Structure 1
Amino acid sequence: MRSLEDEKLAACCNGFLAAIKSLWKDHYSDSKHPIDNYELVDIAVPNKDCGFHMILHAQYWDGRSVSHFNENDMSNICKILTYKWLKYAENDAAWESILNLKI
């Protein structure tokens, strides 16, 4: 797992932040919500299931606080998300044969 102590990751994240701030100034210059002082923050999440944590935090982020998910629920959350991805209307992969399922 990397954190902002990793120079390459920090540089990449700072690049994204600078681009977002620049676009904000270009498109929302009259906004009452300036973001000039926003900084990068490392959000500590468990190393287990970090990809699912990232997806869930992105899906449920309200712009202010980080959602809290119970680690005991992660197994069921993974199953639910996997099912949704497999059953997605535009998923044209032959996932039954890829997974060697007899359905």
Structure 2
Amino acid sequence: MSALFLKGLSQKVRRGQAGSVRQGRNPGGDLYGYTPRKGKPGILDINPETSAVVTRIFEEYAAGTSPRAIAARLNAENVLPLAVASGMLPRSTETPRAGRGASE
């Protein structure tokens, strides 16, 4: 594709996303702590189960806990990442295997 076409496409996508935000809607993608409302594109409802995890992450970070330590605790407690919790990925992909990209 030509560079000019791609630049124009990029501008159109951004303009569309900005319009969605101005209308108070989510411009795309799933958000941890929210569930899409059926039949209402871009409208999100708070998910009580996963929103508690989001609140906890913010509270721990505000208390001075490092992001790495927060992630380690969530992994130790088997808190599912968004892609697994929402069913986008199978559970087998939720955590890396030892020695295969997992940081120790």
Per the normalisation by structure 2, the TM-score is: 0.29
Higher relative contact order structure (alpha carbons within 8 Å, sequence separation ≥ 6):
1
Which structure has more strand as a fraction of its residues?
2
TM-score, normalised with respect to structure 1: 0.29
